[in-house]
Amino acid sequence: MELNAKIPSGPIDQKWTKHKFDMKLVNPANKRKYSVIMVGSGLAGASGAASLAELGYNVKCFCYQDSPRRAHSIAAQGGINAAKNYQNDGDSVFRLFYDTVKGGDFRSREANVHRLAEVSGNIIDQCVAQGVPFAREYGGLLDNRSFGGAQVSRTFYARGQTGQQLLLGAYQALEKQIGLGQVEMYSRHEMLDVIVIDGMARGIVVRNMVTGELEVHLADAVVLSTGGYGNVFFLATYAKGANGTAAWRAYKKGAAFANPCFTQIHPTCIPVSGEYQSKLTLMSESLRNDGRIWVPKAVGDKRAPGDIPEDERDYYLERIYPSFGNLAPRDVSSRAAKRVVDEGRGVGPTEVGVYLDFADAINRLGEDKIRERYGNLFEMYERITDEDPYKVPMRIYPATHYTMGGLWVDYNLESTIPGLFVAGEANFSDHGANRLGASALMQGLADGYFVLPYTMGNYLGSNKFEPVREDHPEVIAAVTGVEERIRSLLALEGSRTVMDIHRELGQIMWEYCGMARNKEGLETALKKIPALREEFWENAIVPGTFNELNQSLEYAGRVADFLEIGELMCRDALTREESCGAHLREEYQSEEGEAVRDDENFSHVAAWEYTGEDSEPKRHIEPLEFEYVALATRSYK
């Protein structure tokens, strides 16, 4: 397997412009001769499908929900970054690029990140033109707020519903193309395999989730915009349906899986409250603009927060990181919370939590202002915890939130399978070992609106596509493989529910491959996960039948894949003998508990190649070069 990133030559700020000129074009009359499959209709998929259709390509778009409007993207709360510098506070394309490379702890590709920063402004213009109701200041200009890892205000937002509003914009662009017949939309269809013919991705096998029927869809190219795999941890902030199946099936067909262990643990979630909990809820990072994080100074202090005087509180982020304070990046803030909890200073009934306190902000700005900024988030918190955050501080703790790892892609967003492109959270992305807040929406929409429309044209214009029929042996083999797997899942008549096994997997992952990892723990996980997988295939129960709406079957298929993805994550974490960003190997940390990178040996992307059921995956590397942002120890002090 060859990892050729295809980074264009030339100065960093001219690479994308030059590349756009150098790439092949498809003339308008020829575009209608090409067909593209888009799997996923979240922000990356909906924007990509709409843009490709707008150009004139024939697009088929798939999602497993009953409407594209229900993609996980709808949950995004806090905002989307863009280097507009509307605040005149020192922002620029280069600063967004710099912050992102540094924020990712120097484990991302400079050229991709610069392109992302370059197109970020266009995303805001595009969305405003679509009518996305971004927050505005009194004078009517777009407002901004700050997110972690940046000292400028560059985050555009729509109250605490930014993802929903952006998705409505992308969805309407998609609907327009559906109405014009340029996009055929297949909701309630789950992709279960990629069809690769003569080394090129030429189609997919999907299951109609209502009838159970297997269908084949063929095209000239396939894009996966299928989101992240963080639900491997069972408890996460993800939509319950989010899964890694599409990416995993592509991996098994030859797409390299990059940096699988890079998982973001978000510092601002409502703490776990009990053993039978099935979901965690994010409180947006935007709250850290006005909320102050603290714990009692004394170990075991059980007093109510209001009874703890100011001088007995430890505003630990402000103390340790005075220049970034409560807006220290996610990995740094999460680890700091873990440290104070491990010291015995955690708060709340489980003592695994820290306070996020708005009292100062309410005194300074008034309750109305805070309600205007975060009203829906406060309401959500109160509904879940039955505590009024206008009166008592919120309790928060880190939780799994985002996967920086994903399918490896080159500069064109093409995977190691020619013709298989990957966009949004599903690719290994531009975020290195730690994503900065409000940058996922930016990346998904950059990929869909501004990158794929060019690079897809280049691919289609540069290749010849022989017609493919459904009786091609590779098509038949893919369908047979999917059918056999479904039958073996339905044959499981054991005594343990799939959810119970998934919960156990989540516990293993959280304990050994969560916020902190070490060699011994990862080796333990690498024994426990295969054993649990065996338990799944021997003792799980999957009720129902093939040709019906069968949510147990859908879930079982996804958990079966998580049981394999989890193992690759641990393997990757074990092999990366350094700490970087969210990947903290306890053996490689400073006295203060900060990540210590090993640039000499690990300044690379690790991309794993599938080599068969009974053999170990092969690790390849793509070396990373830092020409424009000098490698340095991250400091937010």
Ligand X SMILES: Cc1cc2nc3c(=O)[nH]c(=O)nc-3n(C[C@H](O)[C@H](O)[C@H](O)COP(=O)(O)OP(=O)(O)OC[C@H]3O[C@@H](n4cnc5c(N)ncnc54)[C@H](O)[C@@H]3O)c2cc1C
CA-nearest of 146, 240, 514 to 352 is 514
330 is catalytic: yes
In the complex, minimum distance from the CB of residue 59 to ligand X, in angstroms, rounded to a whole number:
14
Where does 24-92 have alpha helices with state H? 28-31, 43-55
When the beta carbons of 262 and 602 are compared against ligand X, the nearer one is 262
| Selected range binding ligand X among 78-86, 358-366, 544-552, 624-632, rule: CB under 6 A | 78-86
Number of H helices, E strands in the chain: 18, 21
Q: Tell me the closest approach of the beta carbon of residue 550 to ligand X, in angstroms.
A: 15
Note whether 455 binds ligand X by CB under 6 A.
Answer: no
Q: How many angstroms separate the most distant Cα atoms in the chain?
A: 75
* 82 or 525: CB nearest ligand X: 82
263-277: b (≥16 Cβ within 10 Å) or e: bbbbbbbbbebeeee
576-612 burial, b for 16+ CB within 10 Å, e for fewer? Answer: bebbbbbbbbeebeeeebbbebebeebbbbbbbbbee
d(CA 598, CA 539): 43
Identify the bridge partners of residue 559 per DSSP, sorted by sequence position.
none
Could you give the CA distance from residue 316 to residue 336 in angstroms, rounded to a whole number?
8
85/120 with CB nearer ligand X = 120
From the list 33-41, 371-379, 456-464, 567-575, the region that binds ligand X by CB under 6 A is 33-41
Piece of the chain touching ligand X by CB under 6 A; list 176-184, 239-247, 309-317, 520-528: 239-247
Q: State how far the Cα of 354 lies from the Cα of 338, in Å rounded to an integer.
A: 9
Of 1, 75, 490, 541, which lies in the binding site for ligand X, with binding defined by CB under 6 A? 75
Q: Is 456 in the site for ligand X (CB under 6 A)?
A: no
- The least distance separating ligand X from the CB of residue 82, rounded to whole angstroms, comes to 11
CA distance 208 to 83: 42
193 with 204: CB under 8 angstroms? yes
Residue 190 in contact with ligand X, rule: CB under 6 A:
yes
Regarding 506 and contact with ligand X (CB under 6 A), the answer is: no
Burial annotation 81-118 (CB, 10 A radius, 16+ → b, else e): bbbbbbeeeebebbbbbbbbbbbbbbbbbbbbbbbbbb
Pick the binder of ligand X from 103, 148, 163, 271 (CB under 6 A).
163
Examine residue 191 and tell whether it contacts ligand X (CB under 6 A).
Answer: yes
Residue 248 C-beta: closest distance to ligand X, Å: 9
The correct pick among 329, 444, 506, 617 for binding ligand X (CB under 6 A) is 444
Q: Determine if 417 is a binding residue for ligand X (CB under 6 A).
A: no
Gap between the Cα atoms of 140 and 585, Å rounded: 48
Type of residue numbered 167: L
Regarding 552 and contact with ligand X (CB under 6 A), the answer is: no
Stretches 8-16, 56-64, 451-459, 526-534: which one binds ligand X (CB under 6 A)?
56-64
The Cα–Cα gap between 334 and 404 comes to 16
| Among positions 16, 34, 62, 408, the unique one binding ligand X when judged by CB under 6 A | 62
Q: Is 76 a residue that touches ligand X (CB under 6 A)?
A: yes
Q: State the catalytic residue, choosing from 330, 517, 533, 576.
A: 330
Q: What is the 3-state secondary structure (H, E, C) of 101-125?
A: HHHCCCCCCHHHHHHHHHHHHHHHH
Among 439, 455, 579, 603, binds ligand X (CB under 6 A): 439
Token digits of residue 123:
């995303």
From the list 85, 120, 225, 259, which residue makes contact with ligand X (rule: CB under 6 A)?
Answer: 225
Shortest distance, position 432 Cβ to ligand X, whole Å: 15
Cα dist. 218→55, 204, 208, 467, 620 in Å?
Answer: 20, 7, 16, 9, 30
Give the interface segment with ligand X, choosing from 15-23, 176-184, 439-447, 512-520 (CB under 6 A): 439-447
Shortest Å, Cβ 363 to ligand X: 27
Site string for ligand X, 264-283 (x = CB under 6 A): ------------------x-
The one among 19, 26, 31, 42 contacting ligand X by CB under 6 A: 42
Among 15, 38, 40, 450, binds ligand X (CB under 6 A): 40
Among 148, 227, 254, 291, binds ligand X (CB under 6 A): 227
Cα gap 530→333, rounded to integer Å: 33
Q: Which of 38, 235, 440, 560 binds ligand X (CB under 6 A)?
A: 440
The SS3 call for residue 399 is strand
**Contact status, residue 93 vs residue 118, Cβ threshold 8 Å:** yes
Of 91, 290, 425, 561, the one binding ligand X by CB under 6 A: 425
Which of 208, 225, 188, 180 minimizes the C-alpha distance to 37?
Answer: 225
**Size of interface with ligand X, in residues (CB under 6 A):** 43
245 near ligand X, rule: CB under 6 A? yes
Q: Does 41 bind ligand X (CB under 6 A)?
A: yes
**Chain positions contacting ligand X, by CB under 6 A:** 39-45, 62-65, 71-73, 75-80, 162-163, 190-191, 225-227, 237-238, 242, 245-246, 282, 284, 402, 424-426, 438-441, 444
- Catalytic residue ranges: 330
